[in-house]
């Protein structure tokens, strides 16, 4: 046990920028949010936040995806800090149950449509990939942009009647239009929230800027062998090493109507606490999943709100605004683009805003 690392469990820990390579292009809206010039689309369209997992990509750096945080004595990976004392950083329940943060948080900005894909549910992850975690995920839409005159959409869930046999034929023929036609196409707007459970087919369309809170793995099974921009995908990234037939088994063939799709997966955020100067909205909570949670704290100018410890760590992502954090009797500043880890050891955190502020609060599994 490294006693030196334990002292950092009592202070807010900010992470350095952590962009990750993906098969699709995007990222300009992440630059805009981070106030980083120039705002460019490229092959690093995701920012991974408080990540203790590495990304899967061909020929990419070994530690890509791992978050590095700033401490008074230098830069360390969150993973090594947490390992120094899991109970202190994560909280006892999480330390005992998983021994890891149990969650992965991302900002994702798509300039092009992502490939049609599916992620494992827990049962599939266990049997096929020997992993405790699947990749159930959630999307909270923050912004959108029109690309080539196209509205921002997502595709999700099979339409009624789609069978594995039909899906396999479309996959073998690489009939992309045919596959897209099997899924519900849903226009999205800032504020929309969706759960994407393991097994549910989906594709994020172009022009979506969203926060994703998810189980901490990078397992994507996909049915498109070439991306919309023309990038050829390796077999490993198509089926994660389990083969095409097993990849096809990762999908849940339980199609439904458009209305039923919205009922199953669209989430309506609601206020759980408010005053004249603040609102706390619950977005994803235990009624949707036990894998993670997401809330949102809105503060008007010169407002404040205190969050009390709940036995586990949480992560605050400053979507906009600036102000001061009071934690352990000390003051720290925060501003737009900050990503801050608050260990389970911290008893309470007071956020004070100088200007209008929106803070996304991400929580680990319950
Ligand atoms: O298609 P690639 O480049 O692998 O990107 C895959 C991305 O897909 C999205 O639907 C999410 O699951 C992200 O967490 C993931 O990173």
Query: pLDDT value at position 247?
Result: 98
Residue 283, burial from CB neighbour count under 10 angstroms (0-12, 13-18, 19+): buried
Class of the CATH domain delimited by 11-266: mainly beta
Query: pLDDT value at position 3?
Result: 57
Query: pLDDT value at position 4?
Result: 87
ipTM confidence: 0.95
Residue from 22, 43, 141, 215 whose mutation best tests the ligand 1 pocket (most atoms within 8 A of CB)? 22
Distance of CA 134 to the CA centre of its chain: 13
Residue from 58, 220, 221 whose mutation best tests the ligand 1 pocket (most atoms within 8 A of CB)? 220
Ligand 1 atom 5 nearest Cα: 22
Task: With 0.95 as the threshold, say if the pTM is over it.
Answer: yes
Per DSSP, what are the bridge partners of residue 359?
297, 318
Interval between CA 120 and ligand 1 midpoint (Å)? 13
Which atom of ligand 1 is found nearest the CA of 237? 4
| Number of helical H runs and strand E runs in the chain | 11, 25
Alpha helices in the chain (DSSP H): 3-6, 28-34, 78-84, 86-90, 92-97, 122-129, 164-172, 176-181, 235-239, 244-249, 258-265
Domains 11-266 and 270-363 belong to one CATH topology: yes
Task: Answer whether 26's CB lies under 8 Å from 110's CB.
Answer: yes
Where does ligand 1 bind, in terms of residues with CB under 6 Å? 22-24, 46, 106, 114-115, 137, 204, 212, 220
DSSP, collapsed to helix, strand or coil, labels residue 96 as: helix
Q: Which one of 3.50.50.60, 2.30.110.10, 2.60.120.10, 3.40.50.10470 gives the CATH number of domain 270-363?
A: 2.60.120.10
Which atom of ligand 1 is found nearest the CA of 45? 3
Domain boundaries of the chain, sorted by first residue? 11-266, 270-363
The tens digit of pLDDT for each residue in 222-265 reads 999 999 999 999 999 999 999 999 999 999 999 999 999 999 99
Which atom of ligand 1 is found nearest the CA of 22? 3
Q: What is the pLDDT along the chain (366 residues), one digit of tens a residue?
A: 455 899 999 999 999 999 999 999 999 999 999 999 999 999 999 999 999 999 987 789 999 999 999 999 999 999 999 999 999 999 999 999 999 999 999 999 999 999 999 999 999 999 999 999 999 999 999 999 999 999 999 999 999 999 999 999 999 999 999 999 999 999 999 999 999 999 999 999 999 999 999 999 999 999 999 999 999 999 999 999 999 999 999 999 999 999 999 999 999 999 999 999 999 999 999 999 999 999 999 999 999 999 998 999 999 999 999 999 999 999 999 999 999 999 999 999 999 999 999 999 999 999
The tens digit of pLDDT for each residue in 138-149 reads 999 999 999 999
């Amino acid at each position: 046990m490294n006693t030196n690392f334990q002292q950092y469990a009592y202070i807010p820990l900010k992470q350095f920028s952590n962009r990750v390579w993906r098969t699709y292009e995007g990222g300009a809206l992440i630059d805009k949010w981070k106030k980083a010039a120039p705002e460019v689309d490229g092959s690093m369209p995701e920012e991974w936040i408080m990540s203790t997992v590495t990304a899967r990509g061909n020929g990419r750096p070994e530690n890509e995806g791992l978050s590095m945080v700033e401490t008074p004595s230098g830069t360390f990976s969150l993973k090594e800090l947490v390992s120094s004392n899991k109970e202190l950083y994560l909280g006892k329940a999480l330390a005992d149950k998983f021994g890891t943060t149990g969650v992965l948080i991302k900002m994702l900005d798509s300039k092009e449509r992502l490939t049609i894909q599916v992620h494992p549910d827990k049962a599939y992850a266990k049997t096929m990939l020997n992993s405790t975690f699947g990749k159930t995920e959630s999307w909270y839409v923050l912004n959108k942009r029109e690309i080539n005159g196209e509205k921002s959409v997502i595709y999700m869930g099979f339409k009624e009647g789609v069978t594995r046999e039909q899906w396999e034929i479309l996959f073998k023929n690489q009939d992309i239009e045919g596959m897209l036609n099997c899924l519900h196409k849903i226009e999205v707007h800032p504020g929309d929230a969706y759960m994407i459970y393991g097994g549910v087919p989906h594709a994020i369309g172009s022009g979506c800027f969203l926060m994703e809170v998810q189980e901490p793995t990078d397992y994507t099974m996909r049915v498109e062998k070439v991306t919309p921009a023309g990038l050829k995908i390796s077999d490993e990234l198509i089926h994660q090493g389990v083969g095409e037939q097993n990849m096809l088994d990762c999908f849940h063939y339980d199609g439904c109507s458009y209305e039923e799709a919205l009922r199953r997966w669209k989430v309506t955020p609601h206020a759980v606490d408010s005053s004249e100067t603040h609102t706390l909205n619950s977005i994803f909570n235990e009624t949707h999943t036990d894998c993670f949670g997401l809330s949102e704290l809105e503060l008007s100018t010169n407002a404040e709100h205190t969050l009390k410890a709940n036995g586990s760590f949480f992560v605050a992502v400053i979507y906009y605004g600036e102000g001061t954090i009071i934690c352990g009797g000390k003051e720290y500043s925060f501003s737009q683009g900050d990503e801050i880890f608050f260990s389970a050891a911290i008893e309470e955190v007071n956020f004070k805003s100088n200007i209008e502020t929106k803070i996304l609060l991400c929580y680990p599994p319950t």
